[in-house]
Amino acid sequence: MRMYVIAVVVIALVAGLLFLLDRALKAVQRGRRRRDLVERMAPAMAYAEEQDKQRKQAKKASAALTSVLPSIKQEPDKGPRRVA
């Protein structure tokens, strides 16, 4: 009878260890995939940041130009001007 109990306990321990090993291997694999993704995405992120910086500079230059040369303002009660 003792032998059956010991066999069940050993089987349960082996199953638990295999489960923990599986979880550990999956965590390592997930970490490796994330690290590879970060390495591949670094150039794309740098390019996107540079584009955003250029876009902000263009917007700032446009705003500075508009403050110097204000746009033609129309009166609200008048519609768009028509050329006859």
pLDDT of residue 72: 58
Q: What is the pTM of this model?
A: 0.50
**CA 38 to CA 32: how far, in whole Å?**
10
The range of the structural domain enclosing residue 38 comes to: 23-54
Q: For residue range 36-71, list pLDDT tens digits in order.
A: 999 999 999 999 999 999 999 988 887 776 665 556
- Residue 18 domain-assigned (yes or no): no
pLDDT of residue 69: 56
Q: For residue range 24-37, list pLDDT tens digits in order.
A: 999 999 999 999 99
- Residue 7 domain-assigned (yes or no): no
Structure tokens at 25: 């291997």
**CA 31 to CA 38: how far, in whole Å?**
11
- Residue 80 domain-assigned (yes or no): no
- Residue 27 domain-assigned (yes or no): yes
Sign of CA dihedral 56, 61, 63, 64: positive
pLDDT of residue 77: 66
pLDDT of residue 81: 64
Number of domains in the chain: 1
pLDDT of residue 61: 83
* Cα 15–chain centre separation: 38
**CA 16 to CA 14: how far, in whole Å?**
5
- Residue 13 domain-assigned (yes or no): no
